[in-house]
Amino acid sequence: MKLFKQFWFWFGLLLCPLLMIACIFNLGRFIGYTLVSEQSFLQAVHSSSIGIELVITLSLGVCATFEFLRSLRQAKVKFAKLGAISH
């Protein structure tokens, strides 16, 4: 269990920011697609698989953001304890 917790800690600290960047890129790509297309925003969402992709992108972005913030708070506590021990 300790190995899994360490893995999840480093996953949240290192990979979640990359997931957030990928989600922002995908969201920008979607917004660019809807601005260039002749369809309105709602028609573009309902007429293709973009709606599902948008929901997945937003969900992944929100989850990655919260997990990163949780790992960041945990890292502050963890590294503060290490700094107090070394001095």
pLDDT of residue 73: 93
- Write down the residue that tokens 């995908």 correspond to: 26
Give the separation between CA 65 and CA 61, rounded to whole angstroms. Answer: 6
pLDDT in tens, 24-66: 999 898 888 888 877 777 777 776 677 788 888 999 999 999 9
> Looking at residue 61, what is its pLDDT?
94
pTM: 0.75
Query: How is residue 33 written in tokens?
Result: 């697609």
Per-residue pLDDT band for 70 (boundaries 50, 70, 90) equals: very high
Long-range contacts (CB closer than 8 Å, 24 or more residues apart) made by 4-13? 8/71, 9/71, 9/74, 9/75, 9/78, 11/67, 11/71, 12/67, 12/68, 12/70, 12/71, 12/74, 13/68, 13/71, 13/72, 13/75
